Amino acid sequence: MKMDGNQVKNRLAQIITERSFEYREEPPFTLASGRKSNYYFNCKTTTLDPEGMNLIGTIIFDTLKDSDVTATGGLTLGADPIANAVSVISYQRGKPIKSFIVRRDVKTHGTGNAIEGNVKHGEKVAILDDVITTGGSTITAIERAREAGLVIDRVIALIDREEGGRENIEKYVDKVYSVFTRTEIMNVYKGRQQHE
């Protein structure tokens, strides 16, 4: 059964709330920034899932299909399965978009590349991330991609935690999108709690 855009997004929201989202009244979760939070997203349980990858790839490809973006990628590890999902879906849909990886630590041996993948200087790309909190990892990916001569068209995150990261990234790139905000996922979570 083929799903329309709203059905795809609704199904992905269900998967994220079931597998990748935790909420507690008292903030027990320590974030990479060191702050405590009531919310925690572990998106890898969704981005590495066959159905989750298919839905994510479909949603992000649909936002890119009419653009000049030729590749997507971001800082390993969060962006990798998302970029690969977009690549597979784009090929199936007849408009291939390559994926690339931005290394967290640049190798000191071999070619010493910060970027891995079949991308070249001057290509227009989208930087991806699974979760935006402060925006730090996304900004690192933007800087490394620019150093490699890539042109950043936009940033797309799976989840925006709405904690200032988007605004930080907008200092580097004009177009910053997210598939979901924390508020949207929290609303789906609350709806599930009421029906249980």
Q: For the chain, what is the mean pLDDT?
A: 93
Q: What are the angstrom distances between the C-alpha of 177 and each of 12, 74, 106, 112, 190?
A: 16, 14, 27, 31, 24
Token readout for 2 is 């083929």
State mean pLDDT over 105-111.
65
pLDDT at 1 over 90: no
Pairing of strands 29-30, 71-75: unpaired
Which tens digit of pLDDT belongs to each residue from 123-178?
999 999 999 999 999 999 999 999 999 999 999 999 999 999 999 999 999 999 99
Pick the CATH number of 5-195 from 3.30.70.1520, 3.40.50.2300, 3.40.1280.10, 3.40.50.2020: 3.40.50.2020
Q: pTM above 0.85?
A: yes
Q: How confident is the model at residue 194 (pLDDT cuts 50, 70, 90)?
A: confident
| pLDDT at residue 196 in the model | 65
| pLDDT at residue 109 in the model | 58
Q: How confident is the model at residue 28 (pLDDT cuts 50, 70, 90)?
A: confident
| pLDDT at residue 126 in the model | 98
Could you tell me if 155 and 173 are in contact, meaning their C-beta atoms sit under 8 angstroms apart?
Answer: yes
Q: Domain ranges in the chain?
A: 5-195
pLDDT at 192 over 90: no
